[in-house]
Amino acid sequence: MDVILLLEQLLNGLQLGIMLFLIAAGLTLIFGVMGLINLAHGSLYMIGAFACAAVATWSGSFWLGLMASLTFAAAAGALIEVVIMRRLYHREHLDQVLATFALILICSEGTRWLFGSFPLYLDVPDIFYGAVNLFGVLQYSRYRLFIIVIGLFTALCIYLLINKTRIGMRIRAGAADRQMTAALGINISLLYTLVFALGAALAGFSGALVGSIQSVEVGMGEPVLILAFVVVVIGGIGSIRGALVGALLVGMVDTLGRGYLPQILQLLLDPVFANTLGAALSSIAIYLLMIVILVFKPKGLFPAHG
Amino acid sequence: MSEKMLNRALLSLLIIAPWLAHWIDEPYYVSLATRIAILALAGVGLNIALGLGGMVSFGHAAFFGIGGYVTGILASHALNYEPLFSGIFAMSGSTQMLFIWPIAMLVGAIAAIFIGLLSLRTSGVYFIMITLAFAQMIYYFSISWPNYGGEDGLPIYLRNSFPGVNTLQPIQFFMICCTILLITLWGVSRLQDSRFGNALKALRQNETRVAAVGISPLGIKLAAFVISAMITALAGSLFADLNRFVSPTMFSWHTSGQIMIFVILGGIGRLYGPVAGAIMFILCEALLGSWTEYWQFFLGLLLLWVVLFARGGLIGLLCGDKAHD
């Protein structure tokens, strides 16, 4: 097998994994701290991408767009939390699923109303055009490399925020025992709004980053949302560490599966059939992975609460 | 208003309206009513798992789609004169509904046994997500597998037939769907009050206690899940015949969400909840859809309002709280 191609696929898998981690981190935090299943997380991803595309087109600056994606998604998240989510914390999961499903309808159609059905395009700044030479052998897209670097940096920031700061300590305390945390005089509802806005900002940010590779369109959040849920469930709901491991696992399995499964099957089967089967199997590989993991570890790889 | 009266009113509305439409020669409204009956049937199926058993399955689109694809595949083999299997288990396609329905339900049941056995090991959010994952798996498989249309879906050139009925006539096909819905409602009402139904309802409330009196939770839950899936698969088969087309959309998670919406809009755990929910949903779709292109926006608002403020759904709103079961 071609080593250079394998290296490139590994980097692509890493890039997908990092992006998934940014989305899944918010999702798993929101679940861990508030006990809320948020299907509308994909909508926040979409809002971030649209905010970035709109502001970048208006101002001509990609960086302003990125800032806008963070701000808009965080603001939308805070608004949604204060107006709607607060009423859902004590409800059954079924109610949460439905209410956030309704939110998806509202956000998607609302965005379609504002921006129309045509996809927007988001140009990357000039310095990210073209490829960069890695290890002397591999030509790799500068922009994808930028995504990997900024994603790793953000992941590090999340780690430091959660594990080394006072606010992170409060978030962890809220996840472990919300009544006790409230009893110690911490403003729980403010903390919840903050966590939700943080998760929303991360989702919006990754939406803006990925928006330049793909197109920015209504419904772009849904496939990603389901992938992020797979990540969260594999990692163990509520666990940031689990989300990181799950995201990298899903990113790698998906990318390598699509790249290599048809080839591997060709060694065993008739080539045409192997291609068809390989394509079909690689599109469901991550779900198979999730099911296998859940069968053996029904609470994910890193169960958050004991 | 008592729940019984409301149920009767809903059923009469569902049966009389299409006949009126047929009488004034408006086949569109007949097919609208057929859609309602079929989707209500899917909801009645889900309600067994969701309302009675408390199993929040976010993957019932899998069974709905399986019913649809079984119908489409059998019909396409029959219409193209290709045998489905050759060899010892030789089998040709069919365009007979009476043959297609049991096959659709059987395949749905086999899938449900498999999915149920693996999913029921988990609970809570994990159950929601693993059922969703199974449905997504089938969804992506149906898109990437090129036989039977792949992403483009599979047309059924001629609606399948039923002895003594001209299924191509909208009102006659409606009567078939409506009759199945009525029979199913009757069956489920018997099931609810049976020993099995009581055990299932008890399981929803407290699994440990049920296990303590000597009833194995897994068997009951699995049986309920399978029955629920079979009814939804039957609805999927009828839906395929209604549209004369099956596509991967039937497997999509939006379909799962939609079936769930019928149950919730109407009132979860109530026998006629899905009927009320489907009537309301389809009428909203038709009314809002004729008024604005962005009808899903308003549907979302309505749904959000129901979840946040009207927790018993439509029937709960009109009839007050459900009697304790």
**A74 band by pLDDT with thresholds 50, 70 and 90:** very high
Task: Report the pLDDT averaged over residues B92-112.
Answer: 90
Look at B303 and A279 and tell me if their CB atoms are within 8 Å: no
Residues of chain A contacting residue B295, judged by C-beta atoms under 8 Å apart: 109
A140 to A12, A59, A136, A249, A252: CA distances (angstroms): 10, 29, 11, 21, 17
Length of chain A: 306
Q: How many whole angstroms from its chain centre is CA B259?
A: 7
Q: What is the total count of domains within chain A?
A: 1
Sequence letter at residue A114: L
CA–CA distance, B109 with B224 (Å, rounded to integer): 11
- Cβ-contact B250, B61 below 8 angstroms: yes
Q: What is the pLDDT of residues B162-213, one digit of tens each?
A: 888 888 888 899 999 999 999 999 999 999 999 999 999 999 888 889 889 8
A192 to A28, A297, B76, B225, B268: CA distances (angstroms): 13, 29, 54, 36, 29
Look at A283 and B141 and tell me if their CB atoms are within 8 Å: yes
Look at B126 and A300 and tell me if their CB atoms are within 8 Å: yes
Residue B155 pLDDT > 70: yes
CA–CA distance, A198 with A206 (Å, rounded to integer): 12
Residue B9 pLDDT > 90: no
Choice between A99 and B268, residue whose per-residue pLDDT is larger: A99
Ranges of each domain in chain B: 3-319
Q: Suggest the residue from B57, B253, B308 to mutate for an interface test with chain A (most A CBs closer than 10 A).
A: B308
Residue A306 pLDDT > 50: no
The reply to whether A195 falls in a domain is: yes
CB pairs under 8 A between A and B: 121
Residue B325 pLDDT > 50: no
Contacts of A303 (CB under 8 A, 6+ apart): A236, A239, A297
pLDDT confidence of residue B324: 45
**Within chain A, where are the H helices?**
3-34, 41-59, 62-83, 93-115, 142-164, 166-176, 178-183, 188-211, 221-235, 240-268, 271-296
CA–CA distance, A302 with A298 (Å, rounded to integer): 11
Look at A109 and B300 and tell me if their CB atoms are within 8 Å: yes
**Distance in Å, alpha carbon of A148 to nearest chain B alpha carbon:** 27
Residue A192 pLDDT > 80: yes
Q: In chain A, what percentage of residues exceed pLDDT 70?
A: 99
Task: Report the pLDDT averaged over residues B91-120.
Answer: 90
Q: In chain B, what percentage of residues exceed pLDDT 70?
A: 97
Mean pLDDT, chain B, rounded, equals 88
Residue A305 pLDDT > 60: no
- Cβ-contact B236, B109 below 8 angstroms: no
CA–CA distance, B261 with B255 (Å, rounded to integer): 10
pLDDT confidence of residue B86: 65
CA–CA distance, B22 with B16 (Å, rounded to integer): 10
The reply to whether A282 falls in a domain is: no
Asked if B140 is an interface residue toward chain A (Cβ–Cβ < 8 A), one would say yes
Q: Tell me whether strands A138-141 and B154-155 are parallel, antiparallel or unpaired.
A: unpaired
**B226 band by pLDDT with thresholds 50, 70 and 90:** very high
**Distance in Å, alpha carbon of B221 to nearest chain A alpha carbon:** 17
**Distance in Å, alpha carbon of A62 to nearest chain B alpha carbon:** 30
Q: What is the pLDDT of residues A259-304, one digit of tens each?
A: 888 888 888 877 777 777 887 888 888 888 888 888 888 888 887 6
The reply to whether A264 falls in a domain is: no
A164 to A4, A192, A226, A274, B269: CA distances (angstroms): 39, 19, 30, 50, 47
The reply to whether A168 falls in a domain is: yes
pLDDT confidence of residue B90: 64
Tell me which residue range forms the domain holding A37: 3-219
In 3-state terms, what secondary structure has residue B154? strand
The predicted model scores a pTM of: 0.88
Look at B144 and A108 and tell me if their CB atoms are within 8 Å: no
Look at A280 and B145 and tell me if their CB atoms are within 8 Å: yes
Out of B133, B296, B300, the one facing A287 most closely (by C-beta) is B133
- Cβ-contact B96, B78 below 8 angstroms: no
Burial of B256 (0-12, 13-18, 19+ CB in 10 A): buried
Give the A-side interface with B, CB within 8 Å. 31, 37, 84, 87-88, 93-95, 97-99, 101-106, 108-110, 112-113, 222, 226, 229-230, 233, 237, 276, 279-280, 283-284, 287-288, 290-291, 294-295, 298-300
Residue B161 pLDDT > 90: no
Residues of chain B contacting residue A93, judged by C-beta atoms under 8 Å apart: 56, 124-125, 128
The residue whose two tokens read 């086999």 is: B110
Least confident range from A69-73, A175-179, A253-257, B205-209: namely: A175-179
Residues of chain B contacting residue A233, judged by C-beta atoms under 8 Å apart: 125-126, 129-130, 133
Per-residue b/e over A13-52, b at no fewer than 16 CB within 10 Å? Answer: bbbbbbbbbbbbbbbbbbbbbbbbbbbbbbbbbbbbbbbb
Q: Output DSSP code: residue B108.
A: H
The reply to whether A234 falls in a domain is: no
**Distance in Å, alpha carbon of A301 to nearest chain B alpha carbon:** 13
Task: Report the pLDDT averaged over residues B299-304.
Answer: 88
**B321 band by pLDDT with thresholds 50, 70 and 90:** low
CA–CA distance, B60 with B233 (Å, rounded to integer): 9
- Cβ-contact A44, A176 below 8 angstroms: no
Tokens matching residue B15 = 């049966």
Per-residue b/e over A139-171, b at no fewer than 16 CB within 10 Å? Answer: ebbbbbbbbbebbeebbeebeeebeeeeeeebb
The reply to whether A108 falls in a domain is: yes
Residues of chain A contacting residue B263, judged by C-beta atoms under 8 Å apart: none
Task: Report the pLDDT averaged over residues A13-26.
Answer: 90
Helix axes A41-59, A62-83, angle to 10 degrees: 140
Can you tell me the ipTM of this complex? Answer: 0.84
Choice between B266 and B176, residue whose per-residue pLDDT is larger: B176
Q: Suggest the residue from A43, A79, A89, A94 to mutate for an interface test with chain B (most B CBs closer than 10 A).
A: A94
pLDDT confidence of residue B186: 94
B202 to A241, B193, B273: CA distances (angstroms): 38, 12, 20
pLDDT confidence of residue B87: 64
Backbone angles phi, psi at A148, to 5 degrees: -60, -45
Tokens matching residue B11 = 């059923």
pLDDT confidence of residue A304: 67
